[in-house]
Chain A
Amino acid sequence: MNPAPAHLELTTAPHVHAPISTPRVMYEVVAALLPVIAAAAYFFGVTAILMVATGAAVAALTEWAFSDRQGLGTLRDGSALLTGALLALTLPPALPLWMVALGAAVAIALGKLVLGGLGHNLFNPALVGRAFLQAAFPTTMTTWSAPGQGFWHIESATVAPPMLHAAVDVVSAASPLGLVKFEQKTTELLPLVTGNVAGSLGETSAVVLVVVGVVLGLRKVFDWRLPVATLATVVVFSGVLWLFGLSPSPAFMLSSGGLLFGAVFMCTDPVTTPVTAKGAWYFGLGVGVLVVLIRNFGGLPEGVMYSILLMNAATPLLNRVSQPRRLGG
């Protein structure tokens, strides 16, 4: 007769767990950003890599500085790294690196940690950082440098020291949405799809974003309803307006600006979007409607950031009105 091992443990069911964890979700999204970063580097050169590295590093440092600093602390969950990288990819190329750093510090400290850390913030932290930069440096944040100036080309503005009023001497180009808004010029679809247009680092290549989004959705890293609802709403709503000559075509709306990037990486942040399935549809509907309204009837050429932040604010309400109906009830 075998003696029983003396160390049998008593824990409660379930005794098995799905092969999933919050850090793993975060790192899967970080991994999904790699092709996006590669595309950014292809069009905007080494600057893109410098900016993403700065954003991620400062975000991580901020997280660590505000944690209990025992070992890696909450850095291990990977969310700070993700926020920093996401923020950098929403910024115009050739934004001074110190601004990137400032934005990342604000994103983590004010966007997340003061509210209680991971899971407790109302607004998407990366977009809080971006909104801060937009308010603080409105000109620099809307100066787009042209893509394709060579991989090793670094603008002097990129490495400008903090607070000096760096002359914005980049070879600037208007973004496709700016062209539509202020000069009534549309952009060809092909460069929009490949990404060879002026814009924020990560947002320009539609094809990369669609592929990455589909992969993340199929791997169930995020709730597919959120991006699908957002994009479908934009297509339908702008399509109707387009028929009356009130909006650029749905294809242009989809592939320009930050819509795809926002739909794939910002609308899918679990913390700041509804938990319920119905709420996810409402959220996407709201973002889509707001994006079309701001782009076509607002003062700004682009409205993805504000649309998402506004719907973040509505999320507790959406959760409240979209509670699931119990089985057989």
Chain B
Amino acid sequence: MSRLLPLSARATFAHGVHPAEHKEATHASVIERMRFADTYVLALSQHIGAASKPVVRVGQRVERGQLIAEPVGFVSTALHAPVAGTVAAIEPRPLPAGKSGLCIVVRRDPFDSQRFTDQITSRYPPGDADDLIQRVQHAGIVGFGGAAFPSHVKLSVPEGKRVRDVFLNGCECEPYLTCDHRVMVERPQAVLRGAELVRQQVHAERVYIGVEANKPDAIAALRAHIPALSPIEVVELTVKYPQGAEKMLIDAVVHRRVPAGKLPIEVEAAVQNVATAAAIADLVDLGVPLVERVVTVTGPGIARPANVLVPIGTPLRELLDHCGGLLPTARQVVLGGPMMGLAQKDLDVPVTKGLSGVLALTEPATWLQEQPCIRCGRCLDACPMFLNPQRLALMVRHERTEDLEALHLRDCFECASCSFVCPSNLPLVQLMRVGKGLLRRQQEAA
């Protein structure tokens, strides 16, 4: 409980880095809606787990929020039409990260008012939290933090385990991104309602909402709506990356360390994103499934940075155009934050449920020239998992897979803190990925 001591006013985890925040362009921008696009492209696999199975035919009329694909198995989720219209095609389309996959293409009905019909919301009876797990799954809610892990999976407590504390991640530790920040400022009651729903579902005693100190308005907004004697507490955290990672967040707030290779449940913890909690509240109170999310569009290469409430499936180009389009100086478009996001060349790919931000950058850092490693140890001091990236990189280059195992390469979650601090610009996190590929290949061969 060091955060109760006057000398360490705020809590955080050990190691990590502090990149320049770059949030000023959008941290005060009120979430705005955008004009509806003509067509929406909904990937059947935009979450972790099995791809959803289409339940509509080409040419079929769909309402806004209507189920168009259902989950297959437990670690899978549903998909809903973001607009009323007709199913134009079910075919492979290009997706982010250079992939392509089966998508349901919905052409918007230009004469529809695009309100949720009573029929849609009645499928999700308001105010009734019974069997939240199944309802969250069938509402298609996934983690908004980036990984898009189906949220209902984290709502179910495995046999023999218990959850003492729920942690809501409001860190938004990636530079540039402000979408979670704005949700906390503009919809604190939804976040808190979601927190309470999650807490009841997993029978937890407490909810900690971890918010970094660079969002004082979010902290104030949440605290203003927490009633006395509530089991919900907002914890102000020192600004540090990657604090939003599950294990880092738990360590920062309650100083409990999840055993290596294990899940948060091992320390009686469950973690959800703040915007995910708000989505769960909307499902229960308003009856709406997940058809839109807040995306931060920012960076020095965009005309008008903004936080936009975007229907899932919106073509990336339409979203950029809503923000005035790319400037001629833009040289890179990144999906997600700058630390872990993926560069994107094809602007026709759709917005997916896991997309937190679109960055238009003018001079990407990875063009810096590589120098010899001077063994300064900065990567060791940065690694939140307490690995030795310097030595791991060497072992990857020599393809020594048994050493990669011994040095716990599998614990690396590719936060890129090592690459960020390396004064010699070694492609450390890329080498970690190469090393994981080596381990995978070895496993397949065996």
Q: By the criterion CB–CB under 8 Å, are B260 and A326 in contact?
A: yes
Contacts of B321 in A (CB 8 A): 1-2
A residues 234-284 near B (Cβ < 8 Å) are 270-271, 273-277, 280
**Known contacts A24-B423, A77-B371: A16-B377 contact under CB 8 Å:** no
- B325 with A324: CB separation less than 8 A: no
- Residue of B338, B364, B368, B374 near A119 (CB, 8 A) is B374
**Contact B257–A275 (Cβ < 8 Å):** no
What residue in chain A is nearest B427 (Cβ atoms)? A12
**Contact partner of A277 among B262, B320, B333, B381, CB < 8 A?**
B381
Pairwise interchain contact B386-A326, C-beta atoms closer than 8 A: yes
- Find out whether the CB atom of A119 lies under 8 angstroms from the CB atom of B372: yes
> Any chain B CB within 8 A of the CB of A167?
no
B252 within 8 A of A: no
Which residue of B has the minimal Cβ distance to A6?
A: B345
Q: Are A4 and B376 in contact (CB under 8 A)?
A: no
| CB within 8 Å for A14 and B388 given contacts A21-B425, A270-B376 | no
A17 proximal to B (CB < 8 A): yes
A117 within 8 Å of B (CB atoms): yes
Q: Which of B258, B366, B373, B377 contacts A274 (CB 8 A)?
A: B377
Which residues from B are CB-within-8-Å of A15? 332, 334, 338-339, 341, 343, 359, 361, 364-366
* Chain B residues with CB under 8 A of A329: 259-260, 386, 408, 411
The distance from the CB of A265 to the nearest CB of chain B, in whole angstroms, is: 15
Stretch of B76-84, B192-200, B281-289, B414-422 on the interface side = B414-422
Q: Is the pair B380, A327 in contact by a Cβ cutoff of 8 Å?
A: no
Q: Does A120 contact B (CB under 8 A)?
A: yes
> Among the listed A11, A118, A273, which residue makes an inter-chain contact with B343, where contact means beta carbons less than 8 Å apart?
A11
CB of B383, distance to nearest CB on chain A (Å): 8
**Which residue of A is nearest B339, CB measured?**
A14
Q: B17 near A: Cβ within 8 Å? A: yes
Chain B residues contacting A23 (CB-CB under 8 Å) are 371
Contacts of B375 in A (CB 8 A): 119, 270-271, 273, 275
CB-contact partner of B338 in A14, A25, A324, A325, under 8 A? A14
**Contact assessment for B423 and A275 in the assembled complex, using a CB-CB cutoff below 8 Å:** no
Number of interface residues of A (CB under 8 A): 45
Cβ A13 vs Cβ B338 within 8 A: yes
Q: Is the CB of A324 within 8 A of B380?
A: yes
Contact A22 B365, CB 8 Å, known A8-B330, A270-B377: no
Q: A16-B338, A327-B385 are in contact. Are A22 and B424 (CB under 8 A)?
A: yes
CB closest residue in chain B, given A323:
B388
Question: Whole-angstrom distance between the alpha carbons of A280 and B381 in the complex?
Answer: 12
User: A5 within 8 Å of B by Cβ?
Assistant: yes
Contact of B377 among A1, A5, A118, A223 (CB under 8 A): A223
- The interface centre, meaning the residue of A21, A319, A327 with most chain B CB atoms within 10 A of its CB, is A327
Q: Which residues of B contact A9 (CB under 8 A)?
A: 331-332, 343, 345, 364
Which residue of A16, A21, A274, A280 is within 8 Å of B423 (Cβ)? Answer: A21
User: If A2-B321, A326-B260, A327-B411 touch, does A16 touch B386 (CB 8 Å cutoff)?
Assistant: no
A326-B387 contact, Cβ under 8 Å, with A13-B416, A23-B371: yes
| B436 on interface, CB distance cutoff 8 Å | no
Measured in the bound complex, the distance between the Cα atoms of B381 and A2 in whole Å is: 44
Q: In the assembly, what is the distance between CA of A9 and CA of B416, in Å?
A: 19
- CA A5 to CA B320, docked complex, whole Å: 12
Asked if A164 is at the interface (CB within 8 A of a chain B CB), the reply is: no
Digit string of B322-336 for contact with A (CB within 8 Å is 1, else 0)?
000110101111100
Q: Which residue of A lies closest to B373 (CB)?
A: A119
Within 8 A of A (CB), among B67-120: none
B324 CB to nearest A CB, Å: 8
Known: A13-B342, A14-B339, A15-B364. A5 touches B371 (CB 8 A): no
Find out whether the CB atom of A18 lies under 8 angstroms from the CB atom of B367: no
Quick check: is B20 within 8 A (CB to CB) of the other chain?
A: yes
Chain A residues contacting B345 (CB-CB under 8 Å) are 8-10
Is B340 engaged at the interface, CB distance under 8 Å to the other chain?
A: yes
Residue A20 interfacial (CB < 8 Å): yes
Picked from A8, A77, A274, A324, the residue with its CB within 8 Å of the CB of B387 is: A324
Assess whether B126 is interfacial by the CB under 8 Å rule: no
Query: 4 tightest CB-CB pairs across the interface, nearest first?
Result: A2-B325, A17-B365, A119-B372, A270-B376
Sample of 15 A–B contacts (CB below 8 Å): A8-B330, A9-B364, A10-B343, A13-B416, A15-B361, A16-B20, A18-B19, A21-B424, A119-B372, A119-B424, A276-B377, A324-B383, A326-B408, A326-B411, A327-B260
Question: Which residues does B use to contact A, with CB under 8 Å?
Answer: 17, 19-20, 175, 247, 251, 257-262, 317, 320-321, 325-326, 328, 330-334, 338-345, 347, 359, 361, 364-368, 371-378, 380-381, 383-388, 390-391, 407-408, 411, 416, 419-421, 423-425, 427, 429-430
